Chain A
């Protein structure tokens, strides 16, 4: 974080930034979150709690990946679990067949997800956004069904006995949890930096106004493809962690429901806002576990909660606030609250 940044311009609001707002906008907050994650096992370290927290961390990485596609670039992807599957299966199959530690498969996983991203994104990114949604949904289903039907992926029961990241050495839950948290933090940090980089600005431009972006000399197709491929790589790498955690994967993990949950985490947290989607991911992955005791009511409550939260905060729990006040993003993400203002003018 030593690189010189633009001086942080506080978002302009009706009243001055309150203490809470300033705290929420603070740069150090990310480190605070990381510290919280690192300290959590000292509070509770039952196998269950560790497992749930590890799942949450993996889910954070997946969500940050989708955030690049949906949040930064505005491409609606309803089949993101496909990349999780590509990563998990590539890593899992190679690791079990060649008896490698899972970490050694990472280069292959990156290649496979980049190829998958280009194959899926290539023909479809010229489509209108709603069609893109159905096409990605279709690809998600295709990947799952193919995994279900092929022998190399173990058919419907999947593959099992996947070694840990470094063979059996990292299989202790506590060690694995810390490894995961570190890897995920690096991934999150990197994604956030990517969002503020040159290409990140291009992505936001494309999201806000594709025609204007095109007119000012951005090759929108290539920019969108870059976002798609970046998201795919993040998704694939979280697939490797996913496989390492579960040690067995099957097509049942990569259904449409999974894709919907990831998307929900992004939107719930606040599209394009790294902090927001991290919080969204943690909420979405912990909520079903917290509601476990409600048994039959669990998913019913989950559905109702989603509606309620969205009604109360349509722009997400913790929306992205642009640093440049004139950025059109302020307008669109500020959402319903600003509508009367526009009409008065």
Chain B
């Protein structure tokens, strides 16, 4: 027991100084956070009908999908600025409040509640279907309409919630477009590959189900890879054993680029078709210059493929100093759709806005004229076929 009394002097003073240091660090953190926003206050609350109309946006800014978030934020911000420059909506300015959902359900639920606390009028976010699903009841209960720009799992609309709208083509529509193109291009034996995420597997399963039916090409195999890795050699070997002449990849561009390259290195001579998550110039750069050429993609219309959208790209570049990336256009459109619905409703009341969303007729967005179906999805997925020429995705076939 004496052991403890002997070193009292020295360690005690050390402990004190440590405690002081620790306390000061913690205080500093506390101050830096409370200074911005109140401890758990959930942001500033706009009062009544005076201040700006808040558009909430849940997107991944950290975690495994962190790269897409900034594109979506920029796209949405561009629309907000344009609308504000024209005087806003109902005489009020728009304000975009972005929250990080990290593609994680728990973080997403916290973020959604934060947007509710900030009195968001409409939610214009949603990228990962898995993280968007648990936020539906939160927004729905508060009667906050959701215009979801990117997440497109069928389960989002399967619950038939009154306030949930998708403006991205659904997996079903994309699979139909893929099969239509495969048939048109004379594919005989198609291998379908996904990355085992909700979005990608949805499309892959729906496509596989149609392969092998009358008029459609045969199904070679369906294979899943784990996202985030570098070496897909074993999967490549497994797929090549089934002798496909067409490979449909439904995941994202990072893995897509690696797969295309590794398939070519393994001696694969057939064609590639990729889903809309892979439509990014980086796909071609990762795949390497000769490999990426001639890859086809199922994609809703992008500014790059829409005639007359050069000015949109130019203003995006001028504002953010970078090329627009995946889902920038959909996010841009989500804000415009939301603003249009608020304007038509004449108020920010959730039920009225939802009703005016339902009655939108042929509102022009990038993927074509927008009229919601009874399911609150796009009447026409607007999927077209792009192909890579000189490192860029260009329109190949509009599938009309």
Physical contact A–B (CB less than 8 Å)? yes
**Interface residues, chain A, CB within 8 Å of chain B?**
12-15, 44, 46-53, 55, 148-149, 155-158, 160-161, 242, 245-253, 288-296, 298-299, 301, 305, 308-309, 312-313, 325-326, 337-338, 340-342, 344-345
Among A13, A247, A249, contact of B4 (Cβ-Cβ < 8 Å):
A13
B residues near A251, Cβ cutoff 8 Å: 130
A residues near B40, Cβ cutoff 8 Å: 44, 46, 48-49, 52-53, 289
Known: A299-B62, A309-B22, A312-B18. A252 touches B131 (CB 8 A): yes
Tell me whether A338 and B104 are in contact (CB under 8 A).
no
Q: Which of B1-41 contact A (CB under 8 A)?
A: 1, 3-12, 14-15, 18, 21-22, 25, 29-30, 32-33, 36-41
Tell me whether A46 and B41 are in contact (CB under 8 A).
yes
User: Which of B86-94, B110-118, B180-188, B348-356 lies at the interface with chain A?
Assistant: B110-118
Among A156, A245, A250, A345, contact of B201 (Cβ-Cβ < 8 Å):
A156
Among B1, B15, B133, contact of A250 (Cβ-Cβ < 8 Å):
B133
Given contacts A246-B105, A292-B99, A337-B7, 19 further A-B contacts (CB under 8 A): A12-B1, A15-B12, A51-B110, A52-B110, A53-B40, A156-B130, A157-B155, A160-B155, A161-B159, A245-B109, A246-B109, A246-B134, A250-B198, A252-B105, A294-B32, A305-B25, A338-B4, A340-B11, A344-B6
Tell me whether B105 and A249 are in contact (CB under 8 A).
yes
Tell me whether B41 and A247 are in contact (CB under 8 A).
no
How far is it, in angstroms, between the C-alpha of A281 and the C-alpha of B131 when the chains are bound?
23
Tell me whether B110 and A55 are in contact (CB under 8 A).
yes
How far is it, in angstroms, between the C-alpha of A265 and the C-alpha of B113 when the chains are bound?
24
Does B51 lie at the interface of the complex (its beta carbon under 8 Å from any beta carbon of A)? no
Q: Interface readout for B107-130 with A: 1 if CB under 8 Å, 0 if not? A: 101100110110000000000111
Known: A46-B42, A49-B40, A293-B36. A155 touches B198 (CB 8 A): yes
How far is it, in angstroms, between the C-alpha of A156 and the C-alpha of B128 when the chains are bound?
11
Least distance between A267 CB and chain B CB atoms (Å): 16
Most buried by A among B30, B62, B106: B106
How far is it, in angstroms, between the C-alpha of A31 and the C-alpha of B32 when the chains are bound?
30
Q: Which of B32-70 contact A (CB under 8 A)?
A: 32-33, 36-43, 61-62
- The chain B residue sitting closest to A252, CB to CB, is B130
- The chain B residue sitting closest to A255, CB to CB, is B104
A residues near B331, Cβ cutoff 8 Å: none
Least distance between A144 CB and chain B CB atoms (Å): 11
Among B9, B22, B37, contact of A312 (Cβ-Cβ < 8 Å):
B22
Count residues on chain B whose CB falls below 8 Å from chain A CBs. 62
B residues near A309, Cβ cutoff 8 Å: 22, 25
How far is it, in angstroms, between the C-alpha of A309 and the C-alpha of B29 when the chains are bound?
12
Q: List 28 A-B contacts (CB under 8 A).
A: A12-B1, A12-B5, A15-B8, A47-B138, A48-B113, A49-B40, A49-B42, A55-B109, A155-B198, A157-B202, A158-B130, A158-B133, A160-B134, A160-B159, A245-B109, A246-B109, A247-B134, A250-B105, A251-B130, A290-B33, A290-B39, A298-B100, A308-B25, A309-B22, A309-B25, A326-B1, A338-B4, A338-B11
Tell me whether B8 and A14 are in contact (CB under 8 A).
yes
Does B153 lie at the interface of the complex (its beta carbon under 8 Å from any beta carbon of A)? yes
A residues near B138, Cβ cutoff 8 Å: 47
Tell me whether A252 and B103 are in contact (CB under 8 A).
yes
Known: A157-B153, A338-B4. A248 touches B105 (CB 8 A): yes
A residues near B198, Cβ cutoff 8 Å: 155-158, 250
How far is it, in angstroms, between the C-alpha of A24 and the C-alpha of B222 when the chains are bound?
60
- The chain B residue sitting closest to A337, CB to CB, is B11
Among B6, B39, B109, contact of A341 (Cβ-Cβ < 8 Å):
B6
Tell me whether A338 and B29 are in contact (CB under 8 A).
no
Closest 4 CB pairs of A and B: A14-B8, A48-B42, A157-B198, A248-B134
How far is it, in angstroms, between the C-alpha of A14 and the C-alpha of B110 when the chains are bound?
45
**Interface residues, chain B, CB within 8 Å of chain A?**
1, 3-12, 14-15, 18, 21-22, 25, 29-30, 32-33, 36-43, 61-62, 99-100, 103-107, 109-110, 113-114, 116-117, 128-131, 133-134, 136-138, 142, 153, 155, 159, 196-198, 201-202
Tell me whether B109 and A157 are in contact (CB under 8 A).
no
A residues near B1, Cβ cutoff 8 Å: 12, 325-326
How far is it, in angstroms, between the C-alpha of A149 and the C-alpha of B3 when the chains are bound?
57
How far is it, in angstroms, between the C-alpha of A156 and the C-alpha of B204 when the chains are bound?
13
Among B10, B29, B100, B142, contact of A340 (Cβ-Cβ < 8 Å):
B10
Least distance between B346 CB and chain A CB atoms (Å): 26
Tell me whether B197 and A156 are in contact (CB under 8 A).
yes
How far is it, in angstroms, between the C-alpha of A208 and the C-alpha of B22 when the chains are bound?
29
Among A14, A155, A305, contact of B12 (Cβ-Cβ < 8 Å):
A14
Most buried by A among B38, B43, B109: B109
Least distance between B146 CB and chain A CB atoms (Å): 14
Tell me whether B3 and A345 are in contact (CB under 8 A).
yes
Least distance between B357 CB and chain A CB atoms (Å): 22
How far is it, in angstroms, between the C-alpha of A246 and the C-alpha of B130 when the chains are bound?
12
Tell me whether B133 and A47 are in contact (CB under 8 A).
no
A residues near B104, Cβ cutoff 8 Å: 252-253
B residues near A250, Cβ cutoff 8 Å: 105, 130-131, 133, 198
How far is it, in angstroms, between the C-alpha of A290 and the C-alpha of B116 when the chains are bound?
17
How far is it, in angstroms, between the C-alpha of A223 and the C-alpha of B103 when the chains are bound?
39
- The chain B residue sitting closest to A11, CB to CB, is B4
How far is it, in angstroms, between the C-alpha of A218 and the C-alpha of B4 when the chains are bound?
30
Tell me whether A252 and B128 are in contact (CB under 8 A).
yes
Tell me whether A49 and B159 are in contact (CB under 8 A).
no
- The chain A residue sitting closest to B205, CB to CB, is A155
A residues near B105, Cβ cutoff 8 Å: 158, 246, 248-250, 252-253
A residues near B109, Cβ cutoff 8 Å: 51, 55, 245-246
A residues near B153, Cβ cutoff 8 Å: 157
Most buried by B among A13, A51, A309, A344: A51
Least distance between B136 CB and chain A CB atoms (Å): 8
Tell me whether B3 and A341 are in contact (CB under 8 A).
yes
- The chain A residue sitting closest to B114, CB to CB, is A48
A residues near B136, Cβ cutoff 8 Å: 160, 248
How far is it, in angstroms, between the C-alpha of A52 and the C-alpha of B112 when the chains are bound?
11
- The chain B residue sitting closest to A293, CB to CB, is B36
How far is it, in angstroms, between the C-alpha of A291 and the C-alpha of B26 when the chains are bound?
12
Tell me whether B33 and A338 are in contact (CB under 8 A).
no
B residues near A161, Cβ cutoff 8 Å: 159
B residues near A156, Cβ cutoff 8 Å: 130, 196-198, 201
Among B9, B12, B41, contact of A49 (Cβ-Cβ < 8 Å):
B41
